[in-house]
Amino acid sequence: MKAIQVLDKAFVPFITASEIDRKIQEIADRINKAYSDKNPLFIAVLNGSFMFASDLFKKITIPAQISFIKLASYKGTTSTGNVITAIGLDESLKDRHIILLEDIIDTGKTLSEFLPQLWNQAPASLKIAALLTKPEALRHEVHADYTGFEIENRFVLGYGLDYDGYGRNLPELYQLKP
Ligand code: XMP
Ligand code: MG
């Protein structure tokens, strides 16, 4: 792996594909054990989590379902600012064991605003699996139950994550060059 250029920015190798694979296997092992009799419903948040969701779900060996959503943010009419809603969530969450799949939790803002809407549907349980978290950037009460890597507060790209739409196809993770 060597440094790459995406649009106007340089990125350096950060986490290899085999490290990612090993970590995802660990998460899958834990979920397979904890949810063996729970028929979990995975909900992957597009676009960024598509690779993580695909690789993780292939390692799930218990009965389970998966669905994909997009989060749309628009200006609310209240002073609270933006309202976040899910597009494509057709399944009923009532009494289901939900595992939300996110590529990265940065400030936690997105999920802190969206999670209450999922809880409103009365799931039996609701846990979060995030490939990446940035503990130093966290500003909201959101906690991942399954975390791949805790990383420093620097922009990353690859493995589903993008810079201006590019870089999602990279099989490994890159970090913005300091
Ligand atoms: P918050 O702050 O709401 O952010 O937790 C979550 C969303 O912001 C995007 N994000 C990133 N995307 N590299 C990316 O490619 C990053 O380092 C990064 N940090 C945050 C991402 O879409 C995530 O869902
Ligand atoms: Mg995202």
The single residue of 29, 37, 90, 106 carrying the catalytic annotation is 106
> Domain limits at 26?
21-75+82-169
Q: In CATH, what number is assigned to the domain containing residue 101? A: 3.40.50.2020
pLDDT tens for 41-71 read: 999 999 999 999 999 999 999 999 999 999 9
- Name the pTM for this structure: 0.95
106 catalytic, yes or no?
yes
Asked whether 160 lines ligand 1 (CB < 6 A), one says no
Q: Which pLDDT score is estimated for 42?
A: 98
Instruction: Tell me whether residue 4 is in a domain.
Output: no
Q: Which pLDDT score is estimated for 166?
A: 97
pLDDT tens for 70-91 read: 998 776 555 556 778 899 998 9
Interval 161-170 mean pLDDT: 97
Indicate the number of domains in the chain.
Answer: 1
Instruction: Tell me whether residue 7 is in a domain.
Output: no
Ligand nearest to the CA of 162: 1
Q: Which pLDDT score is estimated for 73?
A: 78
Distance CA 128, CA 123 (A): 13
Helical pair 17-34 and 50-58, crossing angle rounded to 10 deg: 60
Instruction: Tell me whether residue 56 is in a domain.
Output: yes
Ligand 2 centroid vs 30 CA: distance in angstroms? Answer: 23
Bridge-based pairing of strands 146-150 and 156-157 is unpaired
SS3 state of residue 105: strand
Instruction: Tell me whether residue 38 is in a domain.
Output: yes
Ligand 2 centroid vs 160 CA: distance in angstroms? Answer: 9
Residue 95 has pLDDT above 80, yes or no: yes
Q: Which pLDDT score is estimated for 72?
A: 82
Interval 133-162 mean pLDDT: 97
Residues 91/41, Cβ–Cβ less than 8 Å: yes
E strands within 76-153? 82-87, 97-105, 125-133, 146-150
Bond into 47 cis (ω within 30): yes
End-to-end CA, the chain? 17
